């Protein structure tokens, strides 16, 4: 289990959901996956990238920090 917020450059790109932080948005749940096609399936013709669980593509404005979903204290902002 991760004990502290880490630089987002070290976030796992294996498709699992993690908690991320961005100054203008606060806490987000994100994952590194490919975009969905019109049927809600992963579009194999597109490159994977970071998305929120609500489908927002974060490529242009990545979070700065991340922590595992099992992380300890989410009330503390990253330093």
pLDDT by residue (tens digit) across 6-57?
999 999 988 889 999 999 999 999 999 876 777 777 677 777 899 999 989 9
Best CA proximity match to 68, nearest among 12, 14, 13: 12
| d(C-alpha 74, C-alpha 19), whole Å | 9
* pLDDT confidence of residue 79: 64
pTM for the whole thing?
0.72
Q: Mean pLDDT over residues 49-66, rounded?
A: 93
Statement: residue 2 has pLDDT above 60: no
Q: Which helix (H) or strand (E) holds 51?
A: strand 49-52
Q: pLDDT confidence of 72, banded at 50, 70, 90?
A: low
């Amino acid at each position: 289990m991760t004990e502290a917020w880490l630089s987002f450059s070290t976030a796992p790109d294996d498709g699992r959901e993690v908690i991320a932080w961005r100054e203008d948005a606060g806490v987000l749940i994100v994952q590194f996956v490919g975009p969905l096609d019109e049927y809600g399936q992963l579009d194999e013709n597109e490159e994977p990238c970071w998305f929120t669980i609500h489908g927002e593509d974060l490529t242009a404005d990545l979070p700065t920090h991340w922590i595992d979903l099992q992380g300890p204290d989410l009330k503390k902002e990253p330093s």
